[in-house]
Amino acid sequence: MRSTTLLLLATGASAQLYPNQSLLNHTCALQKPLLSCPPQDPSLVDSCCVETFGGLLLSTQFWDTYTGRESSGQLLPTDTWTLHGLWPDFCNGSYTQYCDLSRQYDPIPSPNTTNGLPNGTFVPSYTGPNIGTFLEPFGKYDLLAYMNTYWIAQNQDNAGFWGHEFSKHATCYSTFATACYGPEYREHEEVVDFFETAIKYYKRVPTFEWLAQAQITPSNETQYSYSDVVGVLTEKHGAVPFLGCSGPRFNATTQGANSTDSGYTRLTEVWYYDWVYGRPQEGDTVPVNASASYQTNCAKTEGALWYYERTESSEKKPTVPY
């Protein structure tokens, strides 16, 4: 869930981002791989070969301590942050969502309108086969196994969460438009492509490993400082990420009584920001800092953050390599 301090732009649509786009002449090897930010004019470049809509990419991860579906065998991978998604923000940091309702596979749309407001276009709940089944005709059973290991939902089934991430975010990339796949496009080809791309970005930012190298590991006894955590991740990624925390607020705790620090105290999320040359699929990126006005909602007091351990019943050692 994003902070409301980020401006929602556009109202979403029920069709492709750029209507009447040709199915032909999208040979990206012939195109100059332009940088996605500053924004490119889609009338002057091939929007299938350079990201022209959401050029600021956010590779996002969760640190959850439970899934809520342990009884169904939906468990977290030990010693690993899990994948949240790959989001396309506009270059100014604002964003839109559910940009193509003809590709709406989210069973629990959140929000349930395209602009998050009552006057937005209603996003209907998806009731068809779960999005995980879309991978099967392509023989992507290894991809499905990887996603069921590292792309883990909380309080809903994994496939429903994947459907949410694709429908809310992937439909707002110009480079995942179905027209980009040419006249031989196979249904759901771009879904597979998006999942593979999101995992490509996830694999190169191993948050747990980076923090552990700095002796920052999950603990129910030791607290950490925001400055230390963000410092490690900034050095490794090459730019300042957003760190997300949940409650309680520091000044509502006994430790923080009389403090003016109202940041949250439980480390739960990280967003890594990049610009991209050409298509996101190639992964040719430039790390960029999270917005100076919204780099964290965590408490910044020294020693204020909890990075909690998971219970043994909520995790398992992965059999699929990271």
| pLDDT for position 272 | 98
The Cα–Cα gap between 146 and 312 comes to 21
The catalytic residue among 26, 51, 164, 169 is 169
Tell me: pLDDT of 12 over 50.
no
The catalytic residue among 51, 165, 190, 315 is 165
In order, the DSSP letters of 146-202 are HHHHHS--SSS-HHHHHHHHHHHHGGG-GGG-GGGG-TTPPTTHHHHHHHHHHHHHH
In order, the DSSP letters of 267-315 are EEEEEEEEEEBS-GGGT-EEEEPPPTT-SB-B--STT-BB-PPPPGGGE
| pLDDT for position 5 | 36
Contact 39, 174 (CB under 8 A): no
Tell me: pLDDT of 276 over 50.
yes
The Cα–Cα gap between 251 and 226 comes to 15
Residue 239 in tokens: 């730019």
- Structure confidence by residue, pLDDT tens digits, 130-164: 999 999 999 999 999 999 999 999 999 999 999 99
pLDDT band at 2 (very low <50, low <70, confident <90, very high): low
- Structure confidence by residue, pLDDT tens digits, 79-97: 999 999 999 999 999 999 9
Contact 202, 59 (CB under 8 A): yes
Tell me: pLDDT of 9 over 80.
no
The catalytic residue among 26, 51, 84, 269 is 84
Structural domains of the chain sorted by starting position, each given as residue range(s) with its CATH number in brackets? 28-316 (3.90.730.10)
- Does residue 188 carry a catalytic annotation? no
For a pLDDT cut of 90, what percent of the chain falls above it? 93
Q: What is the helix, strand, coil percentage profile of the chain, to 5? A: 30, 20, 55
Q: Is the pTM of this model over 0.85?
A: yes
Can you name the residues that pair with 267 across neighbouring β-strands?
A: 245
CA 97 to chain centre: 13
Look-up: residue for tokens 């004019």?
Answer: 41
Tell me: pLDDT of 23 over 90.
yes
- Does residue 165 carry a catalytic annotation? yes
Tell me: pLDDT of 165 over 80.
yes
pLDDT band at 7 (very low <50, low <70, confident <90, very high): very low
- Does residue 235 carry a catalytic annotation? no
Q: Report the candidate in 18, 24, 65 with the shortest Cα–Cα distance to residue 43.
A: 18
* Other beta carbons less than 10 A from residue 121's beta carbon: 14
The upper half-sphere exposure of residue 312, i.e. CA atoms within 13 Å in the direction of its Cβ, equals 0
- CB proximity list for 292: less than 8 A, separation 6 or greater: none
The Cα–Cα gap between 230 and 194 comes to 28
